[in-house]
Chains A and B, each alone.
Chain A
Amino acid sequence: MAIIDDVRSIIAKSLNIPVDQLTPDKRLDELGAESLDVIEIVFALEEKYDIAIPLQANDATRVSASGKIDGKTEDKSEGQDKSGNSELPFSTVGDVAEMVEKLVAAKASK
């Protein structure tokens, strides 16, 4: 099974969305992922591939739509980094798969 298929099926299960809707260009926040969903997805992938995904304290909040407080959605415009942190490790389904592929390859080459 290709990594992208695993990623899609894990996200589908976590967000309760049919897997065929999870095309690589779909953004996790637009799919309704909240920060705990992002954390669970990352955990499932770490367990499956025995890798460590670099997701820092604030990243899960920034990836997800749960920056939404009181009906106001956080500004997620590109290039704006409100909390002064590094680039987000991923924002779309395809990004997640690409990141996992890199980490798996890096592990294999060790």
Chain B
Amino acid sequence: MNRVVITGIGVVTPIGNTRDAFWSALVEARSGIGPITIIPTERLNTRIAAQVLDFKPGDHFDPKREGLLDRFAQFAVVAARSALRDSGLELTEEIALDAATIIGNSTGGMNTLDDSFLRLYSQNGTRAHPLSIPRLMSNAACSAISMDLGLKGPTYTIASACSSGTHAIGQAFQMVRTGQAPIALTGGTEACLTVGTFKGWEALRVLSSDTCRPFSRTRSGLVLGEGASMFVLETREHAIARGAPIYAELLGFGMSADAGDITAIDPSGAARAMRAALKDGKVNPDDVDYVNAHGTGTVLNDKGETIALRHAFGDAADHLAVSSSKGVLGHSLGAAGAVELAATALALHHQIIPPTANFEEADPDCDLDYVPNTARNAPIKNAMSSSFAFGGLNAVLVLGRA
């Protein structure tokens, strides 16, 4: 089996569209959460979200191409181009023919869907835009990346709600590991901040009215976000041979299903995925220094995730640094696992643990070290990134220092 490394990282996020801007905002706990400005808010009770504000499609696409792509596919292509550029990889015909493109997104072109329905049902429109279907299909992002970069190997979308990004990266990791693909372009994307999406989440009553405070006693719910993060994966041998930068090595991937509640986290299911990832990577719990948690900022998730970490790590949990990036990034659903993997890989690369932003006070139910508000210089040998999805689907990646 091949050893697999991350050699390129690209991001489009509420805190910046370059790797450096993204990382400095994370380390400084500068939140991308703010007042909703990208859609009309008259009918919303929600006032805040983590929006990608610094993004003009015209800067990246000619008008004809732009018209083909929903916002979630635009994010995906821009992040994928950045990741490929970052890796310095030259896409030869030989590599491109077998290169995998595995992308996670929980929905599809929600902006396109929302606009079409508004026109048809509310404004008595009689016809939909002819590009509605290619724009909104769930595989639009992976197909757009494949076409934009000329990647011609296994290409598909994985949809598992909030675990989509992590499942996709895990799948791409396996393909490069087993030699099915020489390289993979993988990650997650989501752009579903539409009126319809907000109304649906409002009805679930899990949205915070002020901000996202993971693991804090005063946490008040999650904040929706959007964005994308993409990665170039290749074998360690290939990366070293071409003198490529290596951010981190992917060591293990673990998955599980709770087969229980549709929305609530099941600590035993989450812990099973964590243990599976450690076992797959042959990493002892004692050798993990940092966990980038799912940490949504809801009462139930953060308490359940804490229990899961204690189950999976045993006594080693007391020596773990655990942080959630959602106080800064919000919850970008299918993209969350990918943007958080970028945070985890960069933590290993810089040997700095990004903090849990907006942390106010300790909760007796959340009794781990959450690295509140201030980043920490600390040796990180191995790290974990976790995602837990509605529908009870859990996905966990374990990474090692390059």
Contacts and interface: CB of A to CB of B under 8 A. Distances in A.
A57 B300 contact: no
Max chain B C-beta neighbours (<10 A), residue from A43, A62, A84 = A84
B365 to A, nearest CB: 8
A34 interface: yes
Contacts of B364: 82
Contact of A70 (B205, B222, B267): B267
A23 interface: no
Interface string B215-229: 001111110000000
Given A62-B299, A83-B217, A84-B218, A57 B206 contact: yes
16 contacts: A36-B263, A56-B205, A56-B220, A57-B205, A57-B206, A57-B208, A57-B220, A57-B221, A61-B299, A66-B264, A67-B300, A70-B267, A70-B268, A70-B307, A83-B217, A83-B219
A37 B262 CA distance: 12
A35 B204 CA distance: 9
Interface of B: 203-209, 217-222, 261-265, 267-268, 298-300, 303-304, 307, 363-365
A58 B204 CA distance: 11
Nearest to B297: A57
Contact of A58 (B203, B299, B307): B299
A16 interface: no
A61 B364 CA distance: 17
B209 A36 contact: no
Contacts of A85: 220
A29 interface: no
A58 to B, nearest CB: 5
Interface string A63-83: 000110110000000000011
B303 A69 contact: yes
A56 B298 CA distance: 11
B209 A69 contact: no
Contacts of A61: 298-300
Contacts of A39: 203-205
Given A82-B217, A83-B218, A66 B300 contact: yes
A103 to B, nearest CB: 16
Given A57-B221, A85-B220, A69 B205 contact: no
Interface string A27-42: 0000000111001001
B218 A69 contact: no
Given A69-B307, A83-B217, A35 B203 contact: no
A65 to B, nearest CB: 11
A31 to B, nearest CB: 17
Contact of B267 (A67, A69, A83): A69
A60 interface: yes
Nearest to A46: B203
A66 B262 CA distance: 12
Given A56-B209, A57-B208, A57-B298, 12 more contacts: A36-B263, A39-B205, A56-B220, A57-B205, A57-B222, A58-B220, A60-B205, A61-B298, A62-B299, A66-B264, A69-B265, A69-B303
B263 A69 contact: no
Contact of B264 (A35, A43, A57): A35
Most buried by B among A36, A42, A66, A70: A70
A41 to B, nearest CB: 12
